[in-house]
Structure 1
Amino acid sequence: MDIAIIVIYTVALLIIFLYSLAQLNLLFNYLKSRKLDDNSPTFDLSKEEETPYVTIQLPVYNELYVMERLLDNIALLEYPKDKLEIQVLDDSTDESVNTTATHIKQLQNTGLDIKHICREDRTGFKAGALKEGLKIAKGEFIAIFDADFLPGKKWLLQTIPYFKNDKIGVVQTRWGHINRDYSMLTKIQAFALDFHFTMEQVGRNYKDHFINFNGTAGVWRKKCIEDAGNWQGDTLTEDLDLSYRAQLKKWKFKYLEEVETPAELPVVISAARSQQFRWNKGAAENFQKLYWKMLKDKTVSIKTKFHSFFHLLNSSMFLLV
């Protein structure tokens, strides 16, 4: 028994040490990235011929108290109206369906191309809704926002230009927190998310390691989604799943730390626990689904495989500690 305990303890310490080295490497990458100028090619959106068609998808489910704020905020985005489509992918089962429909009609009267799409069943949940909307999306690029996100007016003008590089499949922005100081719980969540959205996302992206679309506040190239196998609902984190499948198909991701997209953090412990459960279990599911395929891919560097191991099994650190 003593030997077994020592072996388990030693293995746990070793893996935690390797995880710490991975995080230290990301810190070095982050600091190096700060010294570089971004010379990425960009579209000139002042020219009509360089302005692509964009579809905004808003997947929602029983968001009665934030729907009006969400729709009004999205309507303020600056982009040519003749090249912008908005899809409200509404899987709601409460009274918000009717109030949302009424608000959408009001926005349609202003000339906004906005559609209310309701499914008969919620097969695939969010992934299913996004996939359903994609079938009829007019846009070459698909921007996605969850109900509690409030992008700034110039958000599309700050993100869409980077797709001039035809290898870019995703542009992801940094989350902000409009209720960071509400309580100790929100402060802790904000700290943890800021760590991910600065050091981890930047550190991985700087060296072309796999990063993830964070489920919202980002833009996909429609062709990239289709090439990677489209949205799939067999894990709790469909965003991470599609991100890895896209990068295994050699699509590049562009992370914009300087573009902040504000959102609300969960203010009660039950909601925070539910969110953390979904993220941690979903990452582990994606490890089971995709890591062996990644491990066998000789075109993926050993260092990227190393970082992806800890990216997907991040939740195991709690168990090991």
Structure 2
Amino acid sequence: MILESIIIVIYSVALILIFLYALAQLNLLFNYLRSKKNNSTCPKFDLSNPNEVPHVTIQLPVYNELYVMERLLNNISEIEYPKDKLEIQVLDDSTDESFEATAAQIKELQATGLDILHVTRENREGFKAGALKEGLKTAKGEFIAIFDADFLPKKNWLLNTIPYFKNPEIGVVQTRWGHLNREYSLLTRVQAFALDAHFTLEQVGRNSEGHFINFNGTAGVWRRECIIDAGNWQGDTLTEDLDLSYRAQLKNWKFKYLEEVETPAELPVVISAARSQQFRWNKGGAENFQKMLWKVLKNKNASFKTKVHGLLHLLNSTMFLNILIVAVLSIPMLYIKNEYTHLKTYFIIMSFFVISTLI
């Protein structure tokens, strides 16, 4: 009966976690629908007034992006913003032939009067987090916009995001990802569907009720003061963006999510790249759950509901594992159900939680 007891405990925990996560997602759906009826306005900078235009630094952390660097730099160089208030940092850790090509293109852009710098390091300590932290040391901007190499923000991107920082409590403005190659294959369509669910239901559902959300690593802007106050970029997890997001919100910084501002990007087109990306996100989520669990629980400023949503958000990476556990253990659980009739009440109760798999 010892083995059976272990199976029952593991199965029950996995099923209950799935149930709680499903309830949270249902709550986010209601939040999302309710937010569409909310027409509240926010204070904004008037960028037509030169005295209200803040200095912005765009950071482009790149590593061996040979095939997209030229397109990225051409795109970023066309962003509409007063040139005397805009700085661009190419945080280049590349070790391939893209390094020289990038350096040459940067020199050409500098000749046009663009304030663009090629920032390099002797080593890749901290990887992306380390590159962002290194660039921040010399960044001129009060606000730091970040784009990965496969993102192509529209020309008016800064004009649509920076004004929201008029509210001194806002530490981050995050935009919605778009998908340039959504229809390329079944793989890209599946990825786009999953990401769209996150960038609509989850981000809006959490943000509209003041729950914790995350900066998505790219296509967003940080207030420099917020980064420093939250402890700066740290490279001890695979998802440094999620880590800093929670540290900032635990210090009472507010995040603003803009569903209406789309930032187009390319999705991975081969399974190996998509698998690598998912592994990084899932492992990073698990690392952040371990790092942030007690900090979230002990935080005195967050409501109970915000803490629950926060923990389930951090546990998101375990849901696939929980579903797998429930599926695999369903077979021995059928045996236990037939063999141990005195557990009838338990199975009646657990059948209620199975409903969560349909939500």
TM-score (norm 2): 0.88
Instruction: Pick the aligned partner of 2:38 from 27, 36, 39.
Output: 36
1:54 maps onto 2:24 in alignment: no
1:197 maps onto 2:199 in alignment: yes
1:68 maps onto 2:70 in alignment: yes
Give deviations 1:254-308, integer Å, cap 9, x for gaps.
0000000000000000000100000010011011111111101122111111111
Map 1:134-173 → 2, pairs under 5 A: 134-173=136-175
Within 1, Cα distance between the matches of 2:144 and 2:110?
20
Instruction: Pick the aligned partner of 2:218 from 216, 223, 227.
Output: 216
1:97 maps onto 2:99 in alignment: yes
Within 2, Cα distance between the matches of 1:28 and 1:283?
25
Give deviations 1:181-206, integer Å, cap 9, x for gaps.
00000000000000000000000001
Aligned twin of 1:269? 271
Aligned residues: 321
The residue type equivalent to 1:162 in the other structure is: Y
**SS of the counterpart of 1:313?**
helix
Q: How far apart are residue 150 of structure 1 and its match?
A: 0.2
The residue type equivalent to 1:274 in the other structure is: S
Aligned twin of 2:245? 243
Within 2, Cα distance between the matches of 1:88 and 1:12?
44
Structure label with greater radius of gyration: 2
Within 2, Cα distance between the matches of 1:115 and 1:9?
54
Within 1, Cα distance between the matches of 2:150 and 2:290?
30
Contact 2:252 2:301 in 1 (8 A): no
Aligned twin of 2:258? 256
Aligned twin of 1:21? 23
Aligned twin of 2:312? 310
Within 2, Cα distance between the matches of 1:221 and 1:202?
21
Q: How far apart are residue 5 of structure 1 and its match?
A: 2.8
Q: How far apart are residue 16 of structure 1 and its match?
A: 1.0
Within 2, Cα distance between the matches of 1:6 and 1:253?
41
Give deviations 1:72-129, integer Å, cap 9, x for gaps.
0001100000000000000000011100011001111111000001111100000000
Within 2, Cα distance between the matches of 1:260 and 1:115?
26
Aligned twin of 2:109? 107
Aligned twin of 1:121? 123
**SS of the counterpart of 1:16?**
helix
Instruction: Pick the aligned partner of 1:188 from 187, 190, 210.
Output: 190
Within 2, Cα distance between the matches of 1:164 and 1:194?
28
Aligned twin of 2:89? 87
Within 2, Cα distance between the matches of 1:2 and 1:234?
38
**SS of the counterpart of 1:315?**
helix
Q: How far apart are residue 310 of structure 1 and its match?
A: 1.2
The percentage of counterpart residues that share the same residue type is 78
Within 2, Cα distance between the matches of 1:273 and 1:229?
31
Instruction: Pick the aligned partner of 2:284 from 269, 272, 282.
Output: 282
Contact 2:188 2:269 in 1 (8 A): yes
Map 1:289-308 → 2, pairs under 5 A: 289-308=291-310
Q: How far apart are residue 10 of structure 1 and its match?
A: 2.7
Q: Which blocks of at least 5 consecutive residues in structure 1 are unaligned?
A: none
Q: Which blocks of at least 5 consecutive residues in structure 2 are unaligned?
A: 324-359
The residue type equivalent to 2:97 in the other structure is: E
The residue type equivalent to 2:70 in the other structure is: E
Contact 2:66 2:97 in 1 (8 A): yes
Q: Which runs of 4+ in 1 moved over 4 A?
A: none
Within 1, Cα distance between the matches of 2:107 and 2:10?
61
**SS of the counterpart of 2:173?**
strand
Within 1, Cα distance between the matches of 2:94 and 2:7?
50
Query: Which is worse superposed, 13-22 or 138-147?
Result: 13-22
Aligned twin of 1:233? 235
Q: How far apart are residue 8 of structure 1 and its match?
A: 2.8
Query: Which is worse superposed, 243-252 or 31-40?
Result: 31-40
Q: How far apart are residue 12 of structure 1 and its match?
A: 2.1
